[in-house]
A and B are shown apart, each in its own frame.
Chain A
Amino acid sequence: MARIIVVTSGKGGVGKTTSAAAISTGLALKGNRTVVIDFDVGLRNLDLIMGCERRVVYDLVNVIQGEAGLNQALIRDKRTENLHILPASQTRDKEALTLEGVEQVLEKLSEDYDYIVCDSPAGIERGAQLAMYFADEAIVVTNPEVSSVRDSDRILGLLASRTRRAEQGQDPVVERLLITRYNPDRVDSGDMLNLDDIQEILAIKLIGLIPESEAVLRASNSGVPVTHDEQSDAGQAYLDTVDRLLGEEKPLRFHQFEKKGFLSRIFGGGRR
C-alpha cells in the first residue's frame, strides 16, 4: 500500500507545486517508487516544473473518464528513476473530477507505488478537497506572512473534517508544516513572521523550512526540480525535508540569518 501525501496550502503562490515536485523527486532519489499527481485541472503547472510538458498526451481527467488507461497517462521522469508524473488536464475544469474516479486512480496506483504525492490546487473548493480527501499525510505549505498562515489554518480544519480518514473515524491525517520562502534577513527586520510565531498559531509539527532562494526560480523556469540542484540551499532544504518525511532526524538549517562573509559581501548578490 502506498502512502498518499497531499501537498496543500489554501493560498495560491506559496510553493505547492514546487514543493510537490521537489519532494516527489527527493522520495524517488531515495529509491522509493513515487508518482506525483497534478490535481490543478485547468491550470496545469506541475508538468512545467517537472520539465515534461512536451510529453503530455493523456491526463488525469482522461483516465477518470475512461478515455485512456492509467499507463498511457503516466509520464516517466527522464532524470529520476522510480518517478512518474500524472498530469492534469488544461482544457477541462475541476468539475470533471469525481470522487469515485479519483479513488479508483489512487487505488490502482497504490498497487505499484510506495508514495503518491498529490499536488493540490489553491483554494478550498472541489479540486482541493478531492486532492486531500484520500490522503494519509498532508504537507501544509506556508509562507511567513499572515494571510498564508490563516489560509493554512483553514486547510488544517478541513483536513480534520473533510477527509476519508476523518469521515470514517480512522487515525487522523498526519499534518506537517512546510515553511517556504523563508528569509531570515527579513524575519529579523520584522517584515516576515518568524518560525516560532507560525508554529505557535498552526500548532503542527514542522517537517521542513525552505529558504527564499534564487535556485527555486531558476529550477522552475528550467523545468528541473530544485532537489537536483544539490549545491543550492533550497535543494538541500528539500532533501532534509524528504529525510524527515522518511523518519530521519535532521537539524533545522537556513532559519538563522547568516552574517555575510567578506567575499560574499564583495561579490554580493542574493542567495544561490
Chain B
Amino acid sequence: MSLKVEQATTAFTFKGGMLPMTVMELSTSDPERIGAQLAGKLSQAPAFFQHTPVVLSVEKLDDTALALERLCAVCRSHRLLPVAVRGGGEGIKQSAWALGLGWFPPQEIRETRPLTTVDETSAGIDETGSGRIHRGTVRSGQQVSAPGGDLVIIGAVNAGAEVLAAGSVHVYGPLRGRALAGIHGDRQAGIFCRELHAELLSVAGTYKRLEDVDRALLGTPVQIGLKEDQLAIEALV
C-alpha cells in the first residue's frame, strides 16, 4: 500500500540519460562569420536545422570577450537551439547562466590517440575543414569519424572497427567492420567500398546487417545509398 501512496505523490522522477547532442565547436567568435557559414550549411542540409539542440563549445577560442547573446540569436535565426555552453572562463559561465543556458566544464583531453596517431601521414582535413582522410588499417575497437563531412579510408576497415561520417564513407579496401554515413541525417550520403564484408551498413539511420545483404554482393565492390527509404546496395562498376 505504502508504495502506491508514494507513487501518487511523486510528481516526477530524475533519470540519467545519454542523449545525442550536437556540439558546435566555434573557431571564431565573430557572429557574422558564424552566421554566414550556417546559412551555407542550412541550404545543404535543411533536415538538420529543425530547432536542433546544440551545445556551443568555446574551448578553442582564446578571447574571453564573447558576444554570447548575439551568437545565440544567430543560431536561433538558423533554426538551431543553443541549450548550453561548454568551456570558457568564469565570465562565459556567468553570462551563459544569465541567458538561461547550461554550462559544462571544458572537456578533458581525452585519449583520441587511436584516431590521431594511426593516421599520422594523413593531412586529415580538406579545405572546408570538414572531411577526413585516414591512411592505414582501421582495427577492431577503433573508431574513425568525420563529423563534418566525408570520410575516406585508404586501407581496410576490420571487423569490430567503426567508421562514421556526416557525409559519405569511402573505403579503398575491404570493409569488414561497421560503416555509418549521414550520421546527422544526410540522406544523400553513401557508402562506397572495394570489398564488402561489412557487419553493419547505415545511411542516415537506415541500416542493414551483414545477414540482410545479398550474398552475391559479398566480397565485391559496391555502392550503398538510400532509395525510397530503403538501403540499396549496388555493384560499383
Contacts and interface: CB of A to CB of B under 8 A. Distances in A.
Nearest to B119: A160
Contact of A201 (B117, B141, B156): B156
A161 interface: yes
Contacts of B140: 150-151, 153-154, 157
Interface in B16-67: none
A166 interface: yes
A73 interface: no
A160 B118 contact: yes
Nearest to B143: A157
Contacts of B141: 153-154, 157-158
Given A153-B158, A154-B160, A203 B114 contact: no
Interface in A159-204: 160-162, 166-167, 169, 201, 203
A166 B118 CA distance: 9
Given A161-B113, A161-B114, A150 B160 contact: yes
A156 interface: yes
Contacts of A158: 114, 141
B139 interface: yes
Contacts of A160: 114, 117-118, 139
A219 to B, nearest CB: 31
Interface residues of A, number: 15
Given A154-B139, A154-B140, A161 B111 contact: yes
Contacts of B139: 153-154, 156-157, 160
Most chain B C-beta atoms within 10 Å of own C-beta, residue among A153, A160, A162, A201: A153
A203 B142 contact: no
Interface residues of B, number: 16
Most chain B C-beta atoms within 10 Å of own C-beta, residue among A158, A160, A162, A203: A160
Contacts of B142: 157
A151 B156 CA distance: 16
Contacts of B226: none
Tell me the interface secondary structure of chain A in the complex: helix
Interface string B136-149: 01011110000000
B67 to A, nearest CB: 38
B73 interface: no
A201 B141 CA distance: 14
Interface of B: 111, 113-114, 117-118, 137, 139-142, 155-156, 158-160, 176
Which 5 pairs between the two chains have the least Cβ-Cβ distance?
A157-B139, A153-B140, A161-B114, A161-B113, A154-B140
25 contacts: A150-B140, A150-B159, A151-B140, A153-B139, A153-B158, A153-B160, A154-B160, A157-B114, A157-B139, A157-B140, A157-B142, A158-B141, A160-B114, A160-B117, A161-B113, A161-B114, A161-B118, A162-B113, A166-B113, A166-B117, A169-B117, A201-B159, A203-B137, A203-B155, A203-B156
